[in-house]
Chains A and B, each alone.
Chain A
Amino acid sequence: MNSVKIEDLRKKYGNVNALDGLNIQVESGSVFGFLGPNGAGKTTTLRILAGLAQADSGSIFFGSENTSKSGTDQKARLGYLPEEPAFYGWMSPREYLDYVGKIFKLATKERQLRVDQLLEQSGLKEAAKRRIAGFSRGMRQRLGIAQALMNHPSFLLLDEPVSALDPAGRKEVLEMIEGLSSECTVIMSSHILADVERVCDTVGIINKGKLITQAKKQDLLDRYAIPALEITTSNGSASLMPEWKLRLEKLPAITGVTVEGYRFHLAVKDVHTAQQEVMQDALHHNVTFEKLEVVKPSLEDIFMQLTGSQK
């Protein structure tokens, strides 16, 4: 079982409660997206899990093993990528990965194979003998991910893993992370919500050191789904729009109407009834439109809604 359970984790820095009774349960083999505004406690949590900091109280379970206040005992099974990975500039990536492999006590042949594999996977094969000091931030980030994977970790902790990458690099890394769910449990913090939405199957949102909500991504999207319709009108309907807006506001199934350019955004009580009422109204008054669609909120909408309400 590669599940991770965090129970009532508390951590104070001076008078600041970095973690204020955090409870999280991450299922084995899931890709857990850890969301929260700056200072919410994401990095602190990951550092405690990685054994780099100690919680004041609370428990961490990796599988069935209680590691008390930090992840120190689990280091052989962990892979960790900090937000800004730092390396010895005088080393080459091959040397660094080899060093990491030695720390994990990999046998020489296995280590060499793994180093080659990771250099290939991270796109650093060509730069394998160059000094890390001359690397771009993106290259360092890719090397950071490679070193975190050296030991085939059971638990992979990634703090903003794609923040320094260009779109192509981001796509590659996200695909790589997505593919890792069969091998390990991934906990990934990110402020790029689209990335979390793309690769994570479970999402936890924290603010001020507390868990606000945690659910399967789809459950979360469904739970916070505010029924809405979006109508895109044609350019020719511009003159009819103010009048139609007034009529739409009076329809029983519609609770609110906002207009953005040639688009109406309708908050509705019931999507099906609202669709019928809108179509009938348009037919009776000869209003034409290009598109009528049901829109779902994004993770970003939910995140803003949840963290905003906590402020």
Chain B
Amino acid sequence: MNFLTAFNKEFLEQRRTRKFLIALVVLVLFGMTSPLMAKMTPQIMTMVPGGEAFVGLIPEPTINDAVAQYIKNITQFGILLALVFSMGSMTVEKDKGTAAMILSKPMPRGSFLLAKFASLALTFIIAVVIAGVAAYYYTYFLFGQMNLLNWLTLNGLIVLYILVYIAITLLYSTLTRTQYVAIGLSFGTLIFLGILGSLPGFGINLPDALISNASLLMSGYPVTNWTGLWVSLGIIVVSITTAWLVFRKQEL
């Protein structure tokens, strides 16, 4: 299967070009330090000049603080890395001519494109899983036990949230000629969705809802509206399909 051939090459590229290592190190580092940061915030405050006055006002850190810190760090840095890693994946290949070399052979364009998405997805799945294990261990060690199933769901939703932006950036990378335009458009979309999400009644239907649902789950509240999940899956499918429809007609 040529998809597997392309996927193996893409994943090898992730490792050789250190993208895999960078994602792993950054996310695992934040996975480990998030519970630590939550736990040590009051102590850190005492070290800040004048911070002693606030110590009494800061409540005792809880598991929820550790989880909130983890979600904030992993999503922020995960999205940033996802955008940077995906922005040139198509534009650079088209611009340099490496895509033409490969696609003049019996490599379907769909496989070529999907392999890029799948390899980036695998990189972030592995990085988030290891970051999740590290965060779980430190949280357990510092605060106590968490609901394992909810923790797994939370990390699954974080991965899905990152995949949304990988798919969007891959689409822009297919549509545009330079990686800088692709990342610019992706940041624009990120900001646009953020603004849209802040409108009353809108946020629950957007990818950002994945993160708020994850927080609710970990706080022990039931999640009743999963529209954001379906919208996120829809964005991924539509982005990849559009990228494929455009790419199969593109001249190389």
Contacts and interface: CB of A to CB of B under 8 A. Distances in A.
Interface string B1-23: 01001000100010011000000
Interface stretch (A47-55, A191-199, A260-268, A272-280): A47-55
A300 interface: no
Nearest to A11: B251
| Nearest 8 interchain pairs by C-beta | A86-B97, A80-B104, A50-B104, A75-B106, A53-B251, A102-B5, A52-B252, A90-B16
Interface in A231-253: none
Contacts of A104: 105-106
Nearest to B18: A90
Nearest to A102: B5
Nearest to A87: B98
Given A53-B252, A90-B16, A90-B17, A103 B107 contact: yes
Interface of A: 47, 50-54, 75-76, 78, 80, 82, 84-88, 90-91, 99-100, 102-105, 144, 147, 151
A86 B5 CA distance: 19
B191 interface: no
B97 A82 contact: yes
A52 B251 contact: yes
B195 interface: no
Contacts of B96: 86
B80 interface: no
Given A54-B249, A99-B5, A86 B105 contact: no
Contacts of B5: 99, 102-103
Nearest to A46: B104
Interface residues of B, number: 20
A87 B104 CA distance: 13
B111 to A, nearest CB: 10
Query: Which DSSP category, helix, strand, loop or mixed, fits chain B's interface?
Result: helix
Nearest to B100: A52
Nearest to A44: B251
Interface of B: 2, 5, 9, 13, 16-17, 96-98, 100-107, 249, 251-252
A52 B17 contact: no
B101 A103 contact: no
Contact of B106 (A76, A84, A91, A99): A76
Nearest to A52: B252
A249 to B, nearest CB: 56
A87 B13 CA distance: 12
Contacts of A53: 251-252
A100 B2 CA distance: 11
B103 A52 contact: yes
A1 B128 CA distance: 55
Given A52-B100, A52-B104, A85-B97, A90 B9 contact: no
Given A86-B97, A104-B106, 17 more contacts: A47-B252, A52-B100, A52-B103, A52-B251, A78-B104, A80-B101, A82-B97, A85-B97, A86-B98, A87-B101, A88-B13, A90-B13, A91-B16, A99-B9, A100-B105, A103-B2, A103-B102
Contacts of A54: 249, 251
A73 B106 CA distance: 8
A16 B107 CA distance: 31
Residue picked from A47, A80, A88, A144, most chain B C-beta under 10 Å? A88
Nearest to A53: B251
A84 B97 CA distance: 8
Contacts of B101: 80, 82, 85-87, 144, 147
A105 B17 CA distance: 26
Contacts of A91: 16
B12 to A, nearest CB: 8
Contacts of B13: 88, 90
Contact of A51 (B9, B16, B104, B249): B104
7 contacts: A52-B104, A54-B251, A75-B106, A82-B100, A82-B104, A87-B98, A87-B101
B218 to A, nearest CB: 40
B20 to A, nearest CB: 13
B59 to A, nearest CB: 50
B150 to A, nearest CB: 40
A75 B249 contact: no
Nearest to B97: A86
Contacts of A102: 5
Which interface residue of A82, A91, A99 has the most chain B CB atoms within 10 A? A99
A100 to B, nearest CB: 7
A78 B96 CA distance: 21
